[in-house]
Structure 1
Amino acid sequence: MPEKKSSENKPAVADALNALLADSFALYLKTKNYHWHVEGPRFRDLHLLFDEQAAQILATIDPIAERVRKIGAPTLRSIGDIGRHQSIKDDDKAGVGADAMIANLAADNEALLAQLKETKDAAEAAGDIATSGLVDGWADDTEKRIWFLKATLGG
């Protein structure tokens, strides 16, 4: 007899989605920070790349939060709540070089991808095919961001 999947696992899905939401906000803001502060000979290309990637991340935020609400759980309520849940670290330093920005964003997107995999695992354990399917698209977008960032660094 197949393993019965139940709503008992829904809190794990909501927790995973809320962690993903917090890190998506953190990564969005870090990407915009770098968009605003990048300098040097690659300014235009990186300014545009960071803006494009920030917009893509921002586009995931509302669907993540709405998915949490659809499964009947509360979601994040404030900047402080985001700060308590995020694992992606802020970068408040001035004068961050372009290569460091790119490397930081690549590493943070890789962390987000790992979190997406954890979210998918939680969704599948709960039999939550809607969340599982949404995560697939977000993971593909994240992989593309990683690819672009690493290719920009030349490796």
Structure 2
Amino acid sequence: MATADTKHKGAASSNLTTPTDLGEEARKTVSAGLTKLLADVFTLFVKTKNFHWHVSGPHFRDYHLLLDDQATLVFAMVDPVAERVRKLGGTTLRSVGQIASLRRIEDNDESFVAPEAMLDELRHDNESLVKFMRELHQLCDEKEDVATASLIENWIDETEERVWFLFEATRHTR
């Protein structure tokens, strides 16, 4: 027997469901994939800002500005990812705890990270983000969700550009 609380949760959840012709299974799996991606994007944003705030050394100005630009680009993904989930009739992130439980990109809480190590770590994280997006794109293809796939294609291109900039900024150290 359902309690008043579970009845309320079910009603609230159905009130948030947006109609889509993709079908229930596609809606759920793509929405879940986008929500995980959103957790990764938030994590990458915070890490990029962390490094932006704490970078030091002879290339301080260049790295500081690069990381601020990159953080802005990453943050620009947040709302479109979340809104795509809602367009599919899903629900998305509700808390920092949920971000922490879903993210696949690791935090960096070190008190000092060498500038080149920061850029290298962010390059690897952006490469991971590309990998996650390609996997989600494949799911979208299987579920015939061309709108989400199209958005992901643009996000992949933007993320690959960040990888390129991070790679080039550290090329002299290789």
Tell me which interval the TM-score lies in, with the shorter structure as reference length: over 0.9
Q: Does 1:10 align with 2:27?
A: yes
1:14-93 to 2 correspondence within 5 Å? 14-93=31-110
- In structure 2, the partner of 1:128 is 145
Aligned identity (percent) is 45
| 1:6 Cα deviation from its structure 2 partner | 4.9
- The answer to whether the Cα contact below 8 Å between 2:53 and 2:64 also exists between their aligned partners in 1 is yes
Mark the runs of 5 or more structure 2 residues left unpaired by the alignment: 1-20
For residues 119 and 22 of structure 2, the distance between their equivalents in structure 1, rounded to whole angstroms, comes to 41
1:72-151 to 2 correspondence within 5 Å? 72-151=89-168
| 1:135 Cα deviation from its structure 2 partner | 0.4
Find the residue that maps to 2:169 and give its secondary structure: helix
- The answer to whether the Cα contact below 8 Å between 1:106 and 1:145 also exists between their aligned partners in 2 is yes
Q: How many pairs align?
A: 151
| 1:11 Cα deviation from its structure 2 partner | 1.6
- Higher RCO (C-alpha under 8 Å, 6+ residues apart): 1
CA RMSD, Structure 1 to Structure 2 (Å): 1.2
Q: TM-score, normalised by structure 2?
A: 0.84
For residues 141 and 39 of structure 2, the distance between their equivalents in structure 1, rounded to whole angstroms, comes to 21
Q: TM-score, normalised by structure 1?
A: 0.94
CA offsets per residue over residues 93-135 of structure 1, 9 Å max, x none? Answer: 0110001101100000000000110111111111111101000
4+ residue stretches of structure 1 with deviation over 3 A? none
Residue identity opposite 1:135 in structure 2 = I
Q: Which has the larger radius of gyration?
A: 2
Find the residue that maps to 1:41 and give its secondary structure: coil
